[in-house]
A and B are shown apart, each in its own frame.
Chain A
Amino acid sequence: MDRIPTFIKGLDEKMEGGIPNGHVVLVSGVAGSMKTLLVLHALYENVTRGNGKALYISLEEKRNLILRRAGKVGMKLAEIEDKFAIIDLGFLRKQLKEFPSEKVDWLESLINQIKTFKQDIGFDFLALDSLNALYAISDMKNPRDQLFYFFETLRDMNLTAFLITEMKGEDSEYGQYGVEEFLADGIIHTDLRRINSVMNLFVGVVKMRETKHDRKYYPLVITPNFEFEIVAK
Chain B
Amino acid sequence: MTTDLDSAIEEYLRMMFGDMVRATIKMQKKKLGLNGKSDLSRDEYLKLADEIRKVCVGMSGEEFAAKIYDGLIKIIEKKSNQAS
Interface residues of A (CB under 8 A from B): 63, 78, 81-82, 85-89, 91-92, 95-96, 98-99, 102, 104-105, 108-110, 112-113, 116-117, 120-121
**Does A92 lie within 8 Å of B55, measured CB to CB?**
yes
**Does B27 lie within 8 Å of A96, measured CB to CB?**
yes
In terms of DSSP, what is the predominant structure of the interface of chain B? helix
- List 19 additional A-B contacts (Cβ < 8 Å) besides A91-B58, A109-B20: A63-B58, A63-B60, A78-B61, A87-B60, A91-B59, A92-B17, A95-B24, A95-B58, A99-B23, A102-B22, A102-B23, A102-B26, A104-B19, A108-B19, A109-B18, A109-B19, A112-B19, A113-B19, A116-B14
**Does A99 lie within 8 Å of B27, measured CB to CB?**
yes
Inter-chain CA distance A88–B54, complex, in Å, is 13
Min Cβ gap A176→B in Å is: 22
Number of A-B contacts (CB under 8 A): 68
Residues of A within 8 A of B27 (CB): 95-96, 98-99
Residues of A within 8 A of B20 (CB): 92, 96, 102, 104, 109
Inter-chain CA distance A120–B14, complex, in Å, is 10
